Amino acid sequence: MGLVVQKYGGSSVADAEGIKRVARRIVDTRKAGHEVVVVVSAMGDTTDELIELAEQVTPIPSGREFDMLLTAGERISMALLAMAIKTLGFDAQSFTGSQAGVITDSTHNKARIIDVTPGRIRNALDEGNVAIVAGFQGVSQVSKDITTLGRGGSDTTAVALAAALGAEVCEIYTDVDGVFTADPRVVKKARKIDWIAFEDMLELASSGSKVLLDRCVEYARRYNIPIHVRSSFSGLPGTIVSNDNPNKPEGGEMEQAIISGVAHDTSEAKITVVGVPDKPGEAARIFRAIADAEVNIDMVVQNVSATSTGLTDITFTLPKTEGQKAIDALGRVKDGIGYESLRYDDAIGKISLVGAGMRSNPGVTATFFEALSEAGVNIELISTSEIRISVVTRAEDVPEAVRAVHTAFGLDSDSDEAVVYGGTGR
């Protein structure tokens, strides 16, 4: 029996009862003969309450101090969890990110892990302890200041420790039963996925699925650490994210497209730069200005230019929260680039179909667009990758669009079987 890393999110440890329930689950894993490292988030709304306190004190919190403040949250949950485990008769010790050897760069509020030196964790395990580690935090390599890892930081902590300690699996416990073929709040008939490849999970994550963030999946893929996403409430098996399907059908891989799911995202806005001179270097100048403003962009679309004018339009999507920053940055370079105007639209939504073997199966794209058309959904932008098709529509059309696509690909839980397309899959 090997080493298991388990990560519990804030909703799993929201109160004393939750902490005791999680402690029992950890002890069960320990009793099954595994060494256990637990990564824990702050309890329930603790982080939001700390952020609110900071807002009451200052309009612009210092990055260093904001990290010092927020890391108090995991300190509370991890100590309580260690106490609860000891009450069940098992040894446990809690460790801050710094004590656990999570070394980061110095970018406060969204630091990146640059090394993991889990010597104290290894010792604690060797002495028979369950090691409880604060998620979401580390210590900067140069200044030795406390840092936080930003969004999805606790999941990334868990995967990074799993990689550094050679764990056999990283279990991510959450308040849902796993990764679904679509958001169950939108699609009542969404099905839990038993297994999904890293690449497909990455596309789902970057297309709006909230269960895992792309950053954590990317880390797991790089170090080949299987992730098991499951519920801390039900105890049922969840979704395995790995390189190889553990329950691969006999006869090996079939050459067919395997649709993983439908993701959607209504957190983005769309900016169109209208009337850009269609000559080399113009797009580069636009996106350099955006990058210098530290704005992350998602889809980028440029149509062929109208030959009569020699002008083209460039459209891209980005988080709504960064919209103003991008508009300001582009405004500053208007004269240098010479575009005509900017259009900003935040009433959009994105629907993405993710699955292997899609590009080599033309039927997939056709079915996708037919489903949207029959649902009366107008498509504003299209973007594709090897294993994903995404479209941008009006935000209010998103729920209907997701349901239509989900049904069209036989993903509904009452379908007899998934629709299979012949072709060169993996």
Q: Given the rule CB under 8 A, which residues bind a second copy?
A: 15-16, 19-20, 50, 53-54, 56-62, 64-66, 68-69, 71-73, 75-76, 78-80, 82-84, 86-87, 92-94, 99, 144
Nearest CB to a second copy, comparing residues 99 and 174: 99
Q: Which two tokens stand for residue 274?
A: 């209208």
3-state class (DSSP) for residue 369: helix
Nearest CB to a second copy, comparing residues 9 and 61: 61
Q: How far is the CB of 16 from a second copy (least distance, A)?
A: 3
Q: How far is the CB of 15 from a second copy (least distance, A)?
A: 8
Nearest CB to a second copy, comparing residues 144 and 188: 144
Q: How far is the CB of 56 from a second copy (least distance, A)?
A: 3
- Taking the C-alpha atoms of residue 159 and residue 145, their distance in angstroms, rounded to an integer, is 22
Question: What single string gives the DSSP state of each residue in 227-269?
Answer: EEEEETTT----EEEESS-TTPPTT---SEEEEEEEEEE-SEE
Q: How far is the CB of 280 from a second copy (least distance, A)?
A: 45
Q: How far is the CB of 61 from a second copy (least distance, A)?
A: 5
Q: Give the amino acid at 332.
A: R
Nearest CB to a second copy, comparing residues 42 and 283: 42
Q: How far is the CB of 108 from a second copy (least distance, A)?
A: 12
Nearest CB to a second copy, comparing residues 57 and 284: 57
Q: How many residues does the chain have?
A: 426
Ranges of H-type helices in 193-246: 198-206, 214-223
- Taking the C-alpha atoms of residue 341 and residue 331, their distance in angstroms, rounded to an integer, is 9
Nearest CB to a second copy, comparing residues 82 and 389: 82
- Taking the C-alpha atoms of residue 165 and residue 126, their distance in angstroms, rounded to an integer, is 12
Question: Cβ distance 260 to 209 under 8 Å?
Answer: no
Nearest CB to a second copy, comparing residues 27 and 197: 27
Question: Cβ distance 116 to 101 under 8 Å?
Answer: yes
Nearest CB to a second copy, comparing residues 72 and 366: 72
Counts of helices then strands in the chain (DSSP H, E): 13, 21
Q: How far is the CB of 177 from a second copy (least distance, A)?
A: 26
Question: Cβ distance 37 to 165 under 8 Å?
Answer: yes
How open is the CA angle 73-75-81, to the nearest 5 degrees?
105
SS (H, E, C) 18-59: HHHHHHHHHHHHHHCCCEEEEEECCCCCHHHHHHHHHHHHCC
Q: How far is the CB of 95 from a second copy (least distance, A)?
A: 9
Q: How far is the CB of 74 from a second copy (least distance, A)?
A: 9
Q: Are strands 256-265 and 348-356 parallel, antiparallel or unpaired?
A: antiparallel
- Taking the C-alpha atoms of residue 121 and residue 162, their distance in angstroms, rounded to an integer, is 11
Nearest CB to a second copy, comparing residues 21 and 350: 21
- Taking the C-alpha atoms of residue 329 and residue 280, their distance in angstroms, rounded to an integer, is 21
